[in-house]
């Protein structure tokens, strides 16, 4: 049985590669960023880390799509990822129940698996060690990891400004600073990269990770303190129960698409020290170094919600085992696997019809524009199209 892994972005390798590595010797597998190659491969199972399932539904009818997520922040996006998948992989029973409470349900069900990219951190078999840090970094002193998100009105980049690294270097010259931008930042905001690059040149204790697609999880175990905003990294870092400094962008209310005030990235801000400007950072950093246990109770609470008891670094194994069952079910799995494939077949017929209707709608759009002068005819055409959708 063929299994496809489609990477919407290069940084999705951290989510998909570990599962692919466990299955590639047992089944025909393809991992690629090319959607056309996936369609030509005709997988029976397709694994994604984002909400781009609509590219494949009509062209791969009957294929089971598994979503493994790539971030924890809501940003008005997570529900769409879940509802478009057949099986949605979540990190804990609490997270499953929370998404159900929000009304987000996959077509076939949830799998509680843990979070794949954190496997390397939690299993301690592939850590970013001090040997990989620049020789100029101080040994035996604290390291600050700065991991900002990319949305202009949510990111901490402009809120902190250009001088915060210099201020830390003057106040605490032995602190190491690692800047790991969100993968989209080098393309969308090269001016931010230039600002951090200049600061890294001025300060020997600062490392800018130039490759936006570099694996942020490789840096977590090295960091004593995390500085971020609403990046999903704040949730990953909870697994280590170390201090977190959260920057609140004062312009977040201008962000219409991704600002989700009811999302956990905003309702769980009591996991760390909150600041609004760069000049508040040196004090917040000193506070973290002096009182690292501050907020530890809230961090532990949220860690339990996000990871449950699945802090063993075996998320990829759990997902691979479920996929193996879909391909070759044992006696214990035959019932749910049979139900899943039958449902996928039924959904597939509907997906083909929906895809055809969407193609018709796209081809009729120029006709509809030309018929605006004849509203009665246009009304009847729209009514016919809506009726055909209901019949599907």
For the chain, the structural domain boundaries read 3-121+313-343, 124-307, 347-391
Looking only at the bridges linking them, the beta strands covering 143-146 and 273-275 are unpaired
- Is the distance from CB of 28 to CB of 44 less than 8 angstroms? no
Chosen CATH of 124-307 out of 3.50.50.60, 1.10.1060.10, 3.40.50.2000, 2.70.98.20: 3.40.50.2000
Number of helices and strands in the chain (H, E) = 17, 12
> Residue 246 is inside which H or E element, if any?
strand 244-247
pLDDT, residue 76, reads: 64
pLDDT, residue 97, reads: 96
Rounded to a whole number, what is the distance in angstroms from the first to the last CA of the chain?
29
Same-fold call for 3-121+313-343 versus 124-307: yes
Looking only at the bridges linking them, the beta strands covering 109-112 and 143-146 are unpaired
> Residue 273 is inside which H or E element, if any?
strand 273-275
What are the helix (H) ranges across 102-189? 119-122, 157-160, 164-171, 185-188
Cβ atoms within 10 Å, residue 342: 10
d(CA 320, CA 322) in angstroms, rounded, equals 5
CA 307 remoteness from chain centre: 15
- Token pair of 155 as six digits: 């990111």
Cβ atoms within 10 Å, residue 139: 9
pLDDT, residue 209, reads: 94
Q: What is the DSSP string of 127-149?
A: ---GGGS-TTSPTTS-EEEE---
As a residue count, the chain comes to: 392
State the DSSP code for 138: P
pLDDT, residue 124, reads: 62
Helix (H, G, I), strand (E, B) or coil at 3: strand
Q: Residue 67: which of 93, 90, 96 has the closest Cα? A: 90
- Token pair of 371 as six digits: 């018929």
- Token pair of 33 as six digits: 């960023």
d(CA 233, CA 54) in angstroms, rounded, equals 27
Full pLDDT tens readout for the chain, 392 residues: 999 999 998 999 999 999 999 999 999 999 999 999 999 999 999 999 988 888 898 889 899 999 998 777 655 678 888 988 999 999 999 999 999 998 999 999 999 999 999 998 998 654 434 336 777 787 778 999 999 999 999 999 999 988 999 999 999 988 999 999 999 999 999 999 999 999 999 998 999 999 988 889 889 989 999 999 999 999 999 999 999 999 999 989 888 777 888 889 999 999 999 999 999 999 999 999 999 999 999 999 999 999 999 999 999 999 999 999 999 999 999 999 999 999 998 887 776 666 555 555 555 566 556 666 666 665 665 555 444 443 44
Q: Residue 167: which of 287, 247, 280, 245 has the closest Cα? A: 280
The CATH topology of domain 3-121+313-343 is Rossmann fold (3.40.50)
Q: Residue 124: which of 304, 308, 310, 313 has the closest Cα? A: 313
């Amino acid at each position: 049985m063929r299994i496809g892994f489609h990477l919407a972005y290069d940084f999705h390798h951290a989510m998909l590669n570990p599962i692919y590595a466990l299955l590639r010797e047992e089944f025909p597998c393809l991992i690629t960023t090319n959607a056309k190659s996936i369609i030509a491969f005709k997988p029976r199972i397709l694994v994604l880390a984002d909400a781009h399932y609509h590219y494949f539904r009509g062209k791969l009818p009957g294929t089971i799509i598994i979503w493994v997520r790539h971030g924890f922040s809501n940003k008005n996006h997570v529900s769409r990822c879940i509802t478009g998948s057949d099986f949605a992989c979540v990190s804990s029973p609490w997270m499953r129940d929370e998404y159900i409470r929000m009304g987000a349900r996959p077509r076939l069900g949830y799998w509680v698996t843990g979070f794949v990219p954190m496997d390397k951190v939690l299993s301690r078999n592939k850590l970013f060690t001090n040997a990989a840090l620049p020789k100029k970094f101080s040994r035996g002193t604290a390291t600050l990891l700065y991991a900002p998100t990319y949305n202009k009105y949510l990111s901490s980049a402009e809120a902190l400004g250009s001088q915060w690294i210099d201020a830390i270097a003057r106040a605490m010259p032995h602190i190491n600073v690692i800047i790991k931008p969100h993968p989209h930042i080098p393309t969308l905001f090269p001016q931010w990269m230039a600002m951090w690059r200049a600061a890294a040149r001025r300060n020997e204790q600062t490392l800018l990770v130039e490759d936006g697609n570099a694996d942020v999880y490789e840096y977590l175990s090295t960091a004593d303190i995390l500085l971020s905003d609403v990046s999903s990294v704040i949730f990953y870092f909870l697994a280590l129960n170390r201090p977190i400094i959260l920057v609140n962008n004062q312009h977040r209310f201008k962000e219409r698409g991704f600002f989700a005030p009811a999302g956990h990235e905003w309702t769980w801000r009591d996991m760390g020290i909150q600041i609004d400007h760069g000049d508040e950072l040196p004090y917040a950093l000193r506070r973290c170094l002096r009182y690292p246990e501050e907020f530890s109770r809230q961090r532990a609470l949220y860690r339990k919600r996000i990871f449950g008891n699945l802090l063993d670094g075996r998320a990829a194994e759990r997902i691979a085992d479920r996929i193996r069952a879909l391909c070759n079910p044992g006696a214990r799995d035959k019932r749910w696997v049979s139900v899943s494939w039958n449902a996928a077949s039924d959904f597939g017929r509907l997906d083909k019809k929906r895809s055809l209707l969407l193609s018709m709608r796209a081809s009729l759009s120029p006709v509809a524009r030309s018929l605006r002068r004849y509203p009665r005819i246009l009304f009847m055409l729209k009514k016919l199209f809506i009726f055909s959708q209901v019949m599907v």
